Structure 1
Amino acid sequence: MGNIARTKDPQARMNEILEAAEQLFAVQGYYSTTIRDISQKIGVAQGMLYYYFKSKEDVLETLLDKHVNVLLFEASTIQTTVQAPSEKIASLLSMVLQKAMYKNGLLLNMIYDVQNLQVKQKLFLRIEEGLSPKLTAIIEDGIKQKQFSVSYIPTAIDYILTILEFLSLALYQRTSPRILTSRIRMAEKLIESTLSSKDKSIHIYTNANR
C-alpha cells in the first residue's frame, strides 16, 4: 500500500489522490485515465477514492480549483507589491499565462477539451471573479497616479480578461513562438489603449517570448 493507505488525515489523502491523478493526466491524458488507474497508482481500492470524490470529473474540478487558488494567491501578492500600476498589470497577466503553461500545457489541455466545456466555464468564471477586484484596485491606483485614464473600470477589466483568454487559447493551440509573440505585442497595445497608458508601458511575457 502507498502512503495514502497509512495516513488518517482526510486532506492529506485528498492531496495524494490529486497528485496521483495529475501525474496520470499528464502522461496518458484525462480521458485515457480511469479511477482504477488512480487507485492502482497509490495502491488502494477504487471504493476508497469514491469516498473522497464522486467521479473522475470531480477529481478534475478539484485539481483545477487547487491551481486556481494558487493563481489567485499569487495575484494578490502582485497587487500588493511596490511596482508601478502598469508593471502590476503586466506581471499579473504574465503570471496567469505562465500558470497556463504548467506541465507543458496540461491544465490548458484539460480546460479546453471540448467535452469539458462546463468545467471550463466554471473555472473561467471563478478566475474572472477572483481577478476582477485585484485588477480594479490596480487600475484605481493607476488612475490616482495619473498613469491610467479609464472612464468605466468594469468595461476595461472585461476587455483585459477577454484578451487574457485569447492569449490562453493561443497557448493551448501551440501557436508558433513568432506568431505568439506577435499576438502578445498586439495584446499589450490593446491593453495600453484600454487603460490610456503610455506606449510600451505594458510588457507581457511567457517562456515562449522571453
Structure 2
Amino acid sequence: MRDVKDPKVRKAEIMEAALFLFAQKGYLNTTTQDIIDKVKISRGLLYYHFKNKEDILYCLVERYSEPLLQKLSTIAYEPNRSAMEKIKSFMEVTIISPDTITSEMIELQKTVDLEQNRYLMDRFSHNFTNKLIIYFTHIIEQGISEKAFHVGYPSETAAFLITGYVFVSNEIKTLPIDIEKSKAYIIAFQTLLARTLGADISFLPTESMKINIDFLNT
C-alpha cells in the first residue's frame, strides 16, 4: 500500500533528510536524487513540496529563524510591558551564550555561508530584516506615546537601527572576533540606541554573551 502522509510531515521529512545529507556529503555534492533516495519518495513528490535544492535550504533557514522571530514578535506586541522593557528584552533575546549552539545549527551555517548561496541568503536577510523593522517600529512608537523616546521618524529610525544591527552582526560572525570584541559591539549598539531614542538604555552583556541577531542563533 502506498505510504500517504500528511503534507507537513512529508515536507519536514524531506528537510531533515536534506540537512543530514548536507552535513554528510556537503551541500554542493548533494543532489535532489540523493534526497529522494534518502526519503524514499518519487521525484514528483519532492517537486510538489519544493522547487529545487535551493528552495529546501531556504525553508530550512526559515525554520531555524522562526523561534527567534516568534520571541521578538511576542516582545513587541506584549500589552503589559513598557517600551523600555521591550527594548531591553529585544536585546537580551538577540544575545546568547555559545553553549546554546547545536551541531545542526553549525552544519546549516556552513552551508549558507557558501559563496554559491550568497544570493539566497541575501534574499532571506532582506525578508528577515523587514520583519524585525516592523516589530522595532511598534516598540519605538509605543515609547513615543509613553514619552520615553524622542524620535521624529519611528519607522525610518527602526530601519536604520535594525538594518545596521543585522548587517554588522552578520559581518562579525565571519571574522575572528573574541568575546571581548563582541561585547564592545553590543555596548556600542546600546549607546547608539540610547542616543537615537533619547532614552537611558542600560544593558550590559555577561562574559560569555555575543550578538545573535542572525537566524541560526550562532
TM-score range, shorter chain: 0.7 to 0.9
Percentage identity across aligned positions? 28
Q: Tell me how far 1:39 sits from its aligned partner.
A: 2.8
Q: Tell me the SS of whatever aligns to 1:6.
A: coil
Deviations 1:8-42 (A, max 9, x none): 32222111111222233345543243323323333
Amino acid corresponding to residue 166 of structure 1 in structure 2: V
Normalising by structure 2, we get a TM-score of: 0.76
Match of residue 32, structure 2, among 22, 30, 35: 35
Q: 2:193·2:201 contact (CA, 8 Å) conserved in 1? A: no
Instruction: Provide the rounded CA distance (Å) in 1 between the counterparts of 2:75 and 2:159.
Output: 20
Partner of 2:215: none
Counterpart amino acid of 1:43? Answer: K
| Distance in structure 2 (CA, Å) of the matches to 1:7 and 1:92 | 42
For structure 1, list consecutive stretches of 5 or more residues without a partner in the other structure. none
- What's the counterpart of residue 17 of structure 1? 14
In the alignment, which residue of structure 2 is the partner of 1:128?
129
Higher relative contact order (CA 8 A, sep 6+): 2
| 1:87 counterpart (79, 85, 88) | 85
Post-superposition CA distance 1:78-133 (Å, at most 9, x none): 113334323322433443455xx664445544444322222122212211222222
* Distance change >3 Å, CA 7–CA 189, structure 1 → 2: farther
The change in CA–CA distance for 1:20 and 1:170 in structure 2 (over 3 A counts) is same
**Correspondence for 2:58:** 61
In the TM superposition, 1:1-210 aligns within 5 A as 6-46=3-43, 48-81=45-78, 82-96=80-94, 103-161=104-162, 162-173=164-175, 175-200=177-202, 202=203, 208-209=209-210
Q: Which deviates further from its counterpart, 16-25 or 36-45?
A: 36-45
Instruction: Report the Cα distance in structure 2 between the residues aligned to 1:93 and 1:84, rounded to whole angstroms.
Output: 15
CA RMSD of superposed structures (Å): 3.1
1:145-165 deviation per Cα after TM superposition (whole angstroms, max 9, x unaligned): 222111211232122211232
Amino acid at match of 2:169: L
**What is the CA-CA distance between 1:59 and the residue it aligns to?**
0.8
Larger helix percent: 1
Q: Which runs of 5+ in 2 are unaligned?
A: 212-218
Contact 2:112–2:118 under 8 Å retained in 1:
yes
* Aligned mates of 2:115, 2:48 — CA distance in 1: 28
1:204–1:31 distance in 2 versus 1, CA, 3 Å: farther
Letter in 2 for 1:10: P
State how far apart, in whole Å, the 2-side matches of 1:122 and 1:171 are. Answer: 19
TM-score, normalised via structure 1 length: 0.78
Corresponding pairs, count: 204
